[in-house]
Structure 1
Amino acid sequence: MGGRMSGRVALITGGAVGIGEGAVRRLHAEGAKVVIADVQEEAGRALAAELGPGVLFARTDVTREEDVAAAVDAAVERFGGLDVMFNNAGIMGALGPIDKTRTADADLTIAVNLRGVLLGMKHAARVMKPRRSGVIISTSSPAALIGGVGAHVYSAVKAGVIGLSNSVAAELRPYGIRVNTIVPGAVVSAMTAEVVAGGVDDLAGAEEALGRTCFMGRPLRPADIAAGVLYLAGDDAAFVTGVVLPVDAGMTGAGGTSPFASGRYEEPVALLGPAASEG
């Protein structure tokens, strides 16, 4: 199978559903061998069976270092190496006011969303450094950059993913390893459906709910994020490291409503008041 990822091996945590599934499908379609590392066995095994022998499911709880290490080892043993590590597994985790936050919920959120990313980087690096090549991508969130759009602990750990990625990018650059972060906007997925619709299976409800507030005519879908992952993983991004790539229809960079798109200032005018001062 040809394609931009031909001859390469990718491991995707949280690869059984949602954004991870989209990335599995896209990288596989571009020729990569892919390891799906996820706790969701039924969905993960079904996806691997659908896509064929070039895709392996490895049951992986990213809070357990032995699981993450075993998934990386499985990629090496089954497919001969590891070229791309996509740390994507995540949960919404602890929800609620800060003064009522349950510490156990916070600890689990940190364990999955930040410690799991650190473990993925650690074990990817031990394979990639001797080969002096590789790509590590991790999923953050607009909640890392904008207050009020995510739960408190989730926002904190997703900001931590960016800081961790940039720090590791500086360390691994001399080894030819690129480390970047992707920031998806609200995506039609099980996680989003649980928050905005009738539950994890209500993808149609999520599509409808997100469609009412989307910036670009339709909600983001996993395939949109997968396109960003493909870019960061591929040769077109050969000199791209230590960056945060938003795939969010401008939510983090252009979240306001422009007065020049409609209404009073849609046609050009000049406000030429007193020239003395803007203040």
Structure 2
Amino acid sequence: MHLLNNAAHRPWPVPSNNWIMRQKWRNSLFMHWPVKPELVRNLIPSPLRLDTFQGYAWLGYIAFLMDGIYPRALPKLPLTRSFPEINVRTYVQYDGKPGIFFLSIDVKNWASLKIARHWYRLPYHASNVSIEHKGTTFSFQSIRNENNRHISFKALYKPISDVFSPEEGTLDHWLTERYCLYSRDKTSNIYCGEIHHLPWPLQKAEFEVQSNSLLSPFNINLRNTNPIAHYSGGVDALIWNIRKVHSR
């Protein structure tokens, strides 16, 4: 498997057990806001610890096209059709190991929502999500009506620079090069899911946000803070099954 033969960039070795699925992530918009740690600390379950860069925690939106989910046993047969997704995340550590903690994930694909919500204990939400493009400009929209709330995100974005690979130690690298996720179940057990992909090929992005209330369920307002934005044509990713790392 060529992806496994390219692992020198990883902060720790590829897991020795078998991965269970391959995913194709395409046409990705990364938007990141610096925030004071106390703004998000209560959203993170113990024993996870907020990961910070130069004293700031970071909240991120990642909007992209899931261009196929392929089980290991059927590498050429996707489980679902392509579908768009947007996730809201922050960055954490467990026992010194950095990873991603998702606050919400909006998708339209019912099967993926059900599988991921119960299998990976991730905060998936059923939403009306779409992605379109004309030339190099992408139009992304997500609308969720839940618990008498109207939660939406709508934006235009496009790449505006040459492709680059961020250097280790830079903020761009810290925000994007993450190789595991953490999740919790209803009884607050903590799980870790390993991920492997080649380094993200990044470009600077231009964007126009037309609607954004994804953080309203958490009572966070970022209207007066400008995000850092990146575009990526995408990567293929290998996903391992989650494992429990902390029991309540």
What range describes the TM-score normalised by the shorter chain of this pair?
under 0.3
Which protein has the bigger helix share?
1
Which protein has the bigger strand share?
2
TM-score (norm 2): 0.28
- Structure 1 or 2, whichever has the larger Rg, is 1
Q: Which has the higher contact order (CA 8 A, sep 6+)?
A: 2
TM-score (norm 1): 0.26
